Amino acid sequence: MKKIALLIVIFFSFTLLTACGNSTRELGETFQFDGLEITLSEEIGFSRLRNRWSDHDGEYIFLIHATVTNISNGSNELTNWLYTVYSPAGTSLDSLSWDFRETSISEVGSIQPNATKEGYIHVLYADDGEYIIEFDNINDTIEVRFELEFNFAAVPEVQTEFALGETLEVEGVEITIDDNISWGRISSRFSDLDGEYYFFLPVTVNNVSEESVGFPWSFNIFAPNGNTLDSITFDVEEEDISRAGDILPGASLSGYLHVLFAGDGEYTIQFEDWEFDDYLHFIFDVEFDPDAVPVLQTEFTLDETFEFDDLEITISADSFMGAIESRWSDRDGDDYIVFPVTVTNIGDATNSFPWNVTIFGPSGIELDNITFDVERDDITRSGDIRAGATLEGYLHILYDGYGEYMIEFSNWDDTIQVLFDFEG
């Protein structure tokens, strides 16, 4: 009886050890653990960690594809504390699940009963040899053992520097910056950069994501001396592509990127890639071309057509004179000059003749406004003009004797002067 009792104890002890002891598996096998059915692929991928916030930035890694099915009756998941990876030296390796939280199998979240999720186990490369992935939940321990010889040639090259004409992908968009450089000069008396030269580059943006996105807001431009350049998006007349709105998935947007000129040399446009926690750069040389800077004409004479505030304006030299006849006016009896004016709205929105017009006489002194002293309506009191429409009227100027007169149009960005001699 003692022998039988001893055999029974040995049998149950063996059974208990078998149920709760170690079990060894290989890649490609399917096994059950903690209410999950797990398969780790035999095919191993090779890469390099790109995350400047990580202590392992730049280190080599390998990837094992994992398929996990929940075979329990409740929701379940394979969290990173349920498994540990050991190097060939037998030391535990740091978990990379947080560095790859979008693709790590331990970050896919809860799995409903009978559902399956896929992801990867990312492993730091320590050396060639046998690696062990140990699954342990106190009750069960399963070891997946495999030999690894790292394939450095299979590690994809990561391009972070691009030339003009090349295309980079960042934040869900493909960006191509053309090498056709154009030049301009800032004309805004309210800007600290008034008169400074700038260049602008044609840019094409393609939305390759599945949601509406726009030109990345997280970018910097560096001068040849390495300093960050001031943004001039609000100092130039043309709208900068960085101020454009979002574009739909699959759509494209074209525009210009304006850069303050800070001397000949190498310029860098740097984009921050939040997905890989990295920087991508367009690097290119610029040499100033004074002949390519358009001459901004700000002075005109009568019968010349000029553009101002999305209006095309012509003040005719075919003038005539009149006299103010209003006993209620301090100017009653004073002479004035009348100029026919033609105005075309060349913008996309309704507009009107500029209200901010200043007239100077031969003495150089600003002349009084007489728009309410004359019988006929002055063009400055006319109504709005629809896009593409043309308005004709008259501009009345107080006569100030023989000599040079100046009509000045001014807004936040531009000042246009119409100069002419009047001899009566």
Residue finishing a domain among 104, 123, 154: 154
Residue finishing a domain among 102, 137, 154: 154
The reply to whether 114 and 225 lie within a common domain is no
Give the pLDDT score at 276.
Answer: 55
Helix (H) or strand (E) holding 16: helix 2-20
The reply to whether 311 and 277 lie within a common domain is no
With respect to residue 6, please indicate whether it lies within any of the assigned structural domains: no
The reply to whether 271 and 313 lie within a common domain is no
Give the pLDDT score at 157.
Answer: 82
Residue finishing a domain among 93, 125, 154: 154
Residue (of 27, 152, 26, 143) closest to 84 by Cα position? 143
Give the pLDDT score at 12.
Answer: 42
Name the 3-class secondary structure at 3: helix
Domain that residue 197 falls in: 161-292
pTM assigned to the model: 0.54
328 backbone dihedrals φ, ψ, rounded to 5°: -90, -5
The reply to whether 286 and 305 lie within a common domain is no
With respect to residue 11, please indicate whether it lies within any of the assigned structural domains: no
Contacts of 255 (CB under 8 A, 6+ apart): 202, 203, 205, 239, 240, 241, 244
With respect to residue 4, please indicate whether it lies within any of the assigned structural domains: no
User: What does each of the 424 residues of the chain score in pLDDT, given as a tens digit?
Assistant: 444 444 444 444 444 444 445 799 999 999 999 999 999 999 999 999 887 778 898 899 999 999 999 999 999 999 989 999 999 999 999 999 988 888 999 999 999 999 999 999 999 999 999 999 999 998 899 999 999 999 999 998 878 899 999 999 988 899 999 999 999 988 877 788 988 999 999 999 999 999 999 898 889 999 999 999 999 988 887 789 998 889 999 999 999 999 999 999 999 999 987 665 578 999 999 999 988 888 778 899 999 999 998 999 999 999 999 999 888 888 899 999 999 999 999 999 999 999 889 999 999 999 999 988 887 778 988 899 999 999 999 999 999 999 999 999 988 767 899 999 998 6
User: In which order are the strands placed within the sheet that holds 161-162?
Assistant: 161-162, 278-286, 265-273, 219-222
Residue (of 293, 267, 263, 297) closest to 183 by Cα position? 293
With respect to residue 284, please indicate whether it lies within any of the assigned structural domains: yes
**CATH number of the domain that residue 64 is part of:** 2.60.40.1240
The reply to whether 349 and 320 lie within a common domain is yes
Domains: count for the chain? 3
The reply to whether 190 and 86 lie within a common domain is no
